[in-house]
């Protein structure tokens, strides 16, 4: 066992001088329910992502993970606190189409083929379609030969690949992923985790992933942040020690299982704390 652990090396750091790409500072988010009650989704929430990093948010259902993503995507505004991307309000990056977003529901247009779905952000932004870039991304996500297929002709995993290509096509500064593989079966989900790591390694875009899956977070991310139940707050941060590129067999290592158990314990603890 010691011999296997000795093969695990630290992830190369982006360095102490790496600029902050995403900053969530002392954010509280409250919602008014239809019956007039007020729901506090987040309270005093803070986190930072450095440029080029991959961070995963873990937490129980309803803890505010997706709310954080929506705040960063400029789909919501905080009740208190500040959210910034590269020092700017998220709305500025969203307006200039520098945010890439992929959700669990791939939201592909069923009457468009793969190529047209990937081209769509160019048309929404009023930009000329870069056909070379579109084809490069279709190739990158492993869908060469399926350019003319419509979503109903694709598997769930293939549809999510199209959604990821579409999120990347305008060369965003930040990629936001909200349970992108949550609706897939376990085997396909693991395959997509491996593919996403490969795709991310080609671009190294600052990425924030929301997931319920401990193994997924641990395999993909540089850093895993565990949140408490509602109102959400950070209760545990783990710097992932596995070098990149990561091979699937890292998930069978004793160190991977130890860290997976540690994160699961943090999720299961009423306070989220490991004591």
40-63: pLDDT as tens digits: 888 888 999 999 999 999 988 878
| Relative orientation angle of helices 156-168 and 186-203, to the nearest 10 degrees | 20
Two tokens at 200? 């991310």
pLDDT digits (tens, 9 = 90+) for 191-209: 888 888 888 888 889 999 9
Two tokens at 60? 């129980």
DSSP annotation of 272 reads: S
pLDDT the model gives residue 6: 28
Integer Cα distance of 251 and 154 in angstroms: 28
Question: Can you list the pairs that 263-269 forms with residues at least 24 positions away whose Cβ atoms lie under 8 Å?
Answer: 263/58, 263/214, 263/217, 263/218, 263/224, 263/226, 263/236, 263/238, 264/214, 266/226, 266/235, 266/236, 267/58, 267/59, 267/60, 267/214, 267/226, 269/235
Cross-strand bridge partners of residue 40: 30
Average pLDDT over residues 245-264: 92
**Could you tell me if 174 and 198 are in contact, meaning their C-beta atoms sit under 8 angstroms apart?**
no
pLDDT the model gives residue 195: 85
Cross-strand bridge partners of residue 106: none
Q: Does the pLDDT value for residue 11 go beyond 90?
A: no
Two tokens at 222? 């540089």
In the Cβ-directed half-sphere of 202, how many Cα atoms lie within 13 Å?
13
Integer Cα distance of 204 and 151 in angstroms: 27
pLDDT the model gives residue 10: 38
Which alpha helices (DSSP H) does the chain contain, by range?
2-5, 65-72, 90-95, 114-124, 131-140, 156-168, 186-203, 214-220, 254-268
Specify the DSSP element, H or E, that contains 223: strand 223-227
> Is the CATH number 3.40.50.2300 carried by domain 1-7+18-98+207-269?
no
DSSP annotation of 170 reads: T
pLDDT the model gives residue 151: 93
In this prediction the pTM is: 0.84
pLDDT the model gives residue 9: 34
Question: Can you list the pairs that 83-90 forms with residues at least 24 positions away whose Cβ atoms lie under 8 Å?
Answer: 83/22, 83/23, 83/24, 83/25, 83/27, 84/22, 84/23, 84/25, 85/21, 85/22, 85/23, 85/173, 85/174, 86/19, 86/20, 86/21, 86/173, 87/20, 87/23
Two tokens at 120? 């769509």
Where do the structural domains in the chain lie, given as residue ranges? Answer: 1-7+18-98+207-269
pLDDT digits (tens, 9 = 90+) for 178-193: 888 877 788 888 888 8
């Amino acid at each position: 066992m010691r011999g296997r652990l000795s093969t695990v090396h630290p992830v190369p750091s982006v360095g102490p001088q790496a600029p902050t790409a995403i900053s969530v500072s002392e954010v509280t988010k409250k919602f008014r329910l239809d019956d007039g009650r007020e729901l506090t989704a987040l309270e005093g929430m803070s986190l930072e992502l450095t440029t080029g990093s991959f961070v995963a948010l873990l937490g129980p259902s309803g803890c505010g993970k997706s709310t954080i993503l929506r705040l960063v995507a400029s789909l919501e505004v905080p009740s208190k606190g500040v959210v910034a991307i590269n020092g700017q309000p998220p709305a500025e990056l969203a307006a200039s189409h520098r945010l890439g977003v992929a959700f669990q529901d791939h939201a592909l247009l069923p009457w468009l083929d793969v190529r047209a779905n990937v081209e769509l952000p160019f048309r929404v932004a009023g930009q000329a379609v870069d056909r070379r870039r579109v084809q490069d991304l279709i190739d990158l996500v492993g869908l060469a030969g399926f350019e003319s297929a419509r979503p109903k002709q694709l598997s769930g995993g293939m549809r999510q690949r199209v959604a990821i290509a579409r999120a990347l096509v305008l060369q965003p500064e930040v990629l936001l992923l909200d349970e992108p593989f949550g609706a897939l079966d376990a085997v396909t989900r693991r395959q997509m985790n491996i593919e996403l790591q490969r795709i991310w390694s080609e671009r190294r875009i600052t990425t924030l992933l929301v997931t319920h899956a401990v193994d997924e977070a641990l395999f993909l991310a540089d850093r895993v942040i565990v949140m408490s139940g509602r109102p959400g707050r950070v209760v545990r941060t783990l710097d992932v020690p596995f070098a990149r590129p990561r091979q699937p067999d890292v998930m069978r290592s004793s160190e991977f299982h130890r860290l997976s158990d540690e994160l699961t314990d943090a999720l299961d603890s009423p306070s989220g704390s490991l004591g």
